[in-house]
């Protein structure tokens, strides 16, 4: 309750109770608060905590929660799976309440229309599981981590291992239900195409409370082929990563081939610098081998490296589970599947191949910190065919791949500053080799180093401040997002340190 007047908190709680809204406080409060926070940096005692944690069990309760927060002057943070990199769904610099959608996690599949309604509290694992239960012939294009919430993931775009075939998660949304700043429940027809455009990739927690998405089911073959191979040594890693840059984005769209590089990867612990290549092909092993050996023979993929599995088993495979666990798809519904850790991350987009000398430099920096690594996800395929303004996510044609830089630690947080400084050094080293003007970033890999609204002053327009990160995340789509925000949330009810602000100069003219 720190930062809020007791009377205001009591007023909020009274309003929630009067509207039969579930909320946690007392002995349940801390447990429920920390349950979904995946980055332990935001469970520390010095991190601001919400005054009330609201756990609605229906759309009506979400509407009432928004109305009560507005009446009582509380900021709102919306939490789906709690995987936000910078804690924007669970922290604030002013009195706030969290609306946690954990109990709104139903997935209703309609095979006749080849669509499904996902409540925003459903994890990706729960989504994949429900679709697979309905029919093994369909899947959905989204990320590899099963405990990520669909609400935030789709709100930022949602890249995954089917994106080269079918585009992002947000590219495959056909309807949605959103509670706006006035507590009104809207669907695509009633919200209009501008707001519907903004919520599909314009960042989470900024436009209202998305309570459900209607998505297209995507046809898949009865068998897919997967592999996961590691290669060791500075010379080998440099050579393979250099070649991967032009191979992976140009493979047929049925092929997804990512690369991980680090000095202590799980597949090669304590073996120095290594690269792990994770691949999936939407088809049989024979077709995969024919494709990969013709364009990337140096990778040395052989038949025994590959396994034909169902699509739902490939989801388990890419989630990092042991081979014995990928045959039990019920693991996808386990919200405790992974241990939590402390982490810090940044991102980049690469439009031209990075020279071999620079890859050597990256590897040498990675050798300095065994807790750090990079992930490179290939674009191309369907990603390159979708227009950059079709949804707010703009990173389409011309991008070879994106890079995610991470450092993660499980011990206490006393060395946080050193880990973060190391990652920032790696990011700075990469400056000449990545996109520029602006140096682009992926909004789902939230990076507060790019700027925050906490720098706001009366002399500076909020829009001009937000442009520092907004144009990196959204490129030319930033201006349209500001316009939509000004129309639909002119009082900036839904905001965080990196949200899109309304343009107060235009508020009275729109």
On whether the CB atoms of residues 72 and 17 are closer than 8 A, the answer is no
d(CA 252, CA 62): 43
Instruction: Give the pLDDT band (50/70/90) at residue 27.
Output: low
Q: Could you tell me the CA-to-CA distances from 462 to 29, 131, 491, 495 in Å, in that order?
A: 34, 42, 13, 12
On whether the CB atoms of residues 143 and 159 are closer than 8 A, the answer is yes
d(CA 319, CA 417): 29
d(CA 310, CA 197): 33
Q: Out of 166, 427, 445, 473, pick the active-site residue.
A: 445
**Angle (deg, nearest 10), helices 416-429 and 356-367:** 170
Give tens-digit pLDDT for 88-135.
998 988 889 999 999 999 999 999 999 999 999 999 999 999 999 999
Give tens-digit pLDDT for 154-170.
999 999 999 999 999 99
pLDDT reported for residue 1: 38
Question: Collapsing DSSP states into helix, strand and coil, what is residue 293?
Answer: helix
On whether the CB atoms of residues 41 and 413 are closer than 8 A, the answer is yes
Give tens-digit pLDDT for 117-129.
999 999 999 999 9
d(CA 224, CA 252): 14
Known catalytic residue: 445?
yes
Look over the chain and give the mean of its residue pLDDT values, rounded to a whole number. Answer: 94
Give tens-digit pLDDT for 328-348.
999 999 988 888 999 999 999
Instruction: Give the pLDDT band (50/70/90) at residue 506.
Output: confident
d(CA 98, CA 51): 8
- Reading the block at residue 450, the tokens are 């790019």
Instruction: Give the pLDDT band (50/70/90) at residue 29.
Output: confident
pLDDT reported for residue 509: 67
How many Cβ atoms sit within 10 Å of the Cβ of residue 279? 26
d(CA 187, CA 189): 6
d(CA 323, CA 200): 34
Q: Lowest-pLDDT range, 11-25, 114-128, 132-146, 491-505?
A: 11-25
- Reading the block at residue 435, the tokens are 């996109």
d(CA 38, CA 136): 30
On whether the CB atoms of residues 148 and 124 are closer than 8 A, the answer is yes
pLDDT reported for residue 302: 97
């Amino acid at each position: 309750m720190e930062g809020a007047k007791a009377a205001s908190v009591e007023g909020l709680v009274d309003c929630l109770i009067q509207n039969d809204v579930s909320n946690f406080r007392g002995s349940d409060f801390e447990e429920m608060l920390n349950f979904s926070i995946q980055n332990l940096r935001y469970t520390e005692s010095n991190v601001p905590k919400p005054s009330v944690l609201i756990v609605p069990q229906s759309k009506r309760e979400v509407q009432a929660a928004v109305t009560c927060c507005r009446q009582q002057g509380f900021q709102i943070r919306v939490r789906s799976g709690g995987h936000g990199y910078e804690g924007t769904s669970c922290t604030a610099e002013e009195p706030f309440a969290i609306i946690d959608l954990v109990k709104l996690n139903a997935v209703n599949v309609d095979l006749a229309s080849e669509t499904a309604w996902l409540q925003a509290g459903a994890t990706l694992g729960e989504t994949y599981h429900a679709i697979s239960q309905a029919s093994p012939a369909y899947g959905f294009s989204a990320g590899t981590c099963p405990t990520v919430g669909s609400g935030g993931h789709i709100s930022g775009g949602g890249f995954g291992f089917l994106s080269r075939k079918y585009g992002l998660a947000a590219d495959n949304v056909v309807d949605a239900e959103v509670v706006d700043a006035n507590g009104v429940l809207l669907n695509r027809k009633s919200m209009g195409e501008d707001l519907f455009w903004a919520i599909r990739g314009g960042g989470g927690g900024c436009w209202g409370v998305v309570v459900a998405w209607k998505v297209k089911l995507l046809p898949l073959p009865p068998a897919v082929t997967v592999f996961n191979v590691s290669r060791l040594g500075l010379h080998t890693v440099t050579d393979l990563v250099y070649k991967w840059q032009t191979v992976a984005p140009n493979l047929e769209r049925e092929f997804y081939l990512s690369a991980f590089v680090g000095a202590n990867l799980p597949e090669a612990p304590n073996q120095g610098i290594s690269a792990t290549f994770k691949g999936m092909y939407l088809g049989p092993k024979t077709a995969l081998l024919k494709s990969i050996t013709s364009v990337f023979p140096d990778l040395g993929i052989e038949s025994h490296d590959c396994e034909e599995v169902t699509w739902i088993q490939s989801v388990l495979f890419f989630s990092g589970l042991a081979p014995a666990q990928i045959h039990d798809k019920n693991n996808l519904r386990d919200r405790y599947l992974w241990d939590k850790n402390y982490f810090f991350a940044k991102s980049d987009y690469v439009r031209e191949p990075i020279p071999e000398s620079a890859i050597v430099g990256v590897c040498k920096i990675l050798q300095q910190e065994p807790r750090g690594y990079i992930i490179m996800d290939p674009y191309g395929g369907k990603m390159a065919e979708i227009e950059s303004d079709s949804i707010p996510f703009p990173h389409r044609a011309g991008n070879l791949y994106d890079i995610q830089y991470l450092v993660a630690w499980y011990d206490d947080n006393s060395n946080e500053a050193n880990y973060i400084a190391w990652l920032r050094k790696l990011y700075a080293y990469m400056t000449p080799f990545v996109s520029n003007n602006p140096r682009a970033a992926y909004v789902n890999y939230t990076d507060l180093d790019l700027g925050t609204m906490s720098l706001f002053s009366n002399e500076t327009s909020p829009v001009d401040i937000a442009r520092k990160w907004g144009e990196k995340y959204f490129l030319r789509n930033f201006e349209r997002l500001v316009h939509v925000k000004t129309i639909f949330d002119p009082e900036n009810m839904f905001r965080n340190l990196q949200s899109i602000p309304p343009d107060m100069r235009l508020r009275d003219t729109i």
